Amino acid sequence: MSELRRDITSGQAVILAPRRGARPFDLSGADPRPAPLPPLDPHCPFCPGSEAQLPGVIAEIAGPEPPGWRVRVVPNRFAAVDAHEVIVESPRHDARLARFEEAQVEAVVQTYRDRLRAMLDRPGTEAAVLFRNHGPGSGASLRHPHAQLIGLDFTPPFVKALVEAGAARHDADGRCPTCEMLAAELADGVRVVETTSGFVALVPFAAEHPGEVWILPRGHAASFADLEDGGLPEFAALMRRTLARISRAYGDPAYNFVFDGADRAHRDAAFVHWRLRIAPRLAEPGGFELGAGMAINPSRPEEDAARLRQAGEDAP
């Protein structure tokens, strides 16, 4: 039975159609296994020793072993806009974020936060999008682990939708819609994947993608850029565990993730609440999605949450 659900944080609607998951083709999301990667690829611009292929280095976090860095930030040689950075998450070509050791994933998350903060503070930047593409079908052009950050001189449509939907809800009842949603989800528990003292991982009520997970701070905060140092290790550990759950539950699918949050003008807003939104690529959108501007999800969020809870926290 199909069902129409609406995300109160953005106003976007999605059709849940679990029967479509029984269509006669594989929706596992697992691509044919590529050949194992080497720890170092001399042709990869992000690998140590290939610095001549880089336009420069913006920032680094030092590491205790050669090549001397854990995380490196470089300009994108093929930038979509002028303010386009690449966050190289490890010196190792074959590293996987879901398997990073504690110190490495904390360095990555610190770099995410610091570069997003710097981008939003940059004169002329109105909004910034921090995202990661993993695996075939995700849009990734290089397999070396990396994320990207783009600064914009305007507020993009989805960020504007979050701001407008949040403001409308706040004007009506004085509450942040995400805080309201989060309280209801914690009370119900059926779509909650994991909780920590400061964060919650859950499958959203109106998930657009099978296996979609949001990680949100329990306390209200409008931008990931303003996460305090004390929250970084806890968030980093939960992010790694959640990615490992997705990998176990769905056979190491391609995925995209993005940090949703306020634009520059609303970083202190009481009605915008940041989140990390992880979208496994388990089903391809078709003509309806293009024409209607809304998603069809061939799974049920409640069942996806149960599957992810059962998957445990260890990477495969």
pLDDT, tens digit, 9 for 90 and up, residues 217-239: 999 999 999 999 999 999 999 99
Instruction: Kindly list the strands in the beta sheet with 3-6, ordered across the sheet, starting from the edge strand earlier in the chain.
Output: 3-6, 13-16, 295-297
pLDDT of 117 = 98
pLDDT of 33 = 59
Which class would CATH give 7-19+39-311?
alpha beta
0.85 exceeded by the pTM?
yes
pLDDT of 285 = 84
Q: Are 243 and 276 spatial neighbours (Cβ–Cβ below 8 Å)? A: no
Evaluate if residue 113 carries a pLDDT over 50. Answer: yes
Q: Are 300 and 236 spatial neighbours (Cβ–Cβ below 8 Å)? A: no
* pLDDT tens sequence across 52-70: 999 999 999 999 889 999 9
Evaluate if residue 32 carries a pLDDT over 70. Answer: no
Q: Where exactly are the structural domains of the chain? A: 7-19+39-311
pLDDT of 20 = 65
Mean pLDDT of all residues in 90-101: 96
Report the C-alpha gap between 80 and 76 in whole angstroms. 8
Tell me how crowded residue 3 is: count the other CB atoms within 10 A of its CB: 12
Report the C-alpha gap between 46 and 119 in whole angstroms. 21
The tokens for 3 are: 């069902």
* pLDDT tens sequence across 265-315: 999 999 999 999 999 999 888 899 989 989 999 999 999 999 999 998 544
Mean pLDDT score of the chain, rounded to an integer? Answer: 92
Mean pLDDT of all residues in 134-145: 83
Confidence of residue 26 (pLDDT cuts 50, 70, 90): very low
